[in-house]
Structure 1
Amino acid sequence: MALDLSGVRRVVEGLLDDELQLWRDSDGASGNELNEYTGELDPHGQPATQLWVGPGAIVRPGQLSFTQPLDVAVASLPASTAYQALLPLSTPLVLVDDVLSVSRSMRDEQLVGRHFRVAEVAVATYVVVRVVRLEVVS
């Protein structure tokens, strides 16, 4: 007996209320040259290509890393990759170093205009959503 998950998929995709853009830089940092006078990188080569625009969600999973106690106090710090993206299964293949940018967010206005680098793609894939780990770019 096959399990019909189309209703569950519609509900979960309804929760993906951010509008995201997926970008890929085909020649990466190798396409940049250091300008020795200004100290900045000058782009040479192909600009980043937009691969996809669609619904998703940028979330903080609440992972904390604990430091060693100082006397009796324990400090909790956010993990270095404190953000994850929830993407519909229809999203094209996402690779490490791709960039997700947020063009609209219903939950958090401060996410709009932010850019995140994909740090890990093999976090999880469920029947209804794909999860990738992110690092903040800007």
Structure 2
Amino acid sequence: MKSVLLFIFAFGLTTMAQAACKCGENCKCGGEEKCACGKTVNTEEPAEAGHPLRGVVTRKLEDRKLVLVKHEEIPGFMRAMTMAFSVPEKDWPLLEPGVHLTATLHGGRGDWRLSGITLTDENYQPRSEDKKKVTTP
């Protein structure tokens, strides 16, 4: 019985490795970056476009390095709510409670993060005194 299970497990791993190749041929490359059939395997995931977000920082969770942001509705994607986001390390010191921002929202399933953060006034216009602190995506 153990040998049958071992065979099924090994066959499953081989099948998954061949599927990872994405070259359309049964070349047994095992998903290596350079396939045995001579084709290059696409090892990078497609870039995630993200969603524009506007909101205000309500709290910093220092122990988890997360920022709570009360954000507006993201039409067609998410209703308005308060959520925890990870942010780039360089932006961490700038994001204090009460700070308004615009950003790009990425992720899902509990792994939400912000990039391209711009500090703004209450009308979501970039704050002139912070233009040097604005991050890029």
Verify same fold: TM over 0.5: no
Query: Which structure has greater helix proportion?
Result: 2
What TM-score results when the alignment is normalised by the length of structure 2? 0.29
What TM-score results when the alignment is normalised by the length of structure 1? 0.29
Whose radius of gyration is greater, 1 or 2? 2
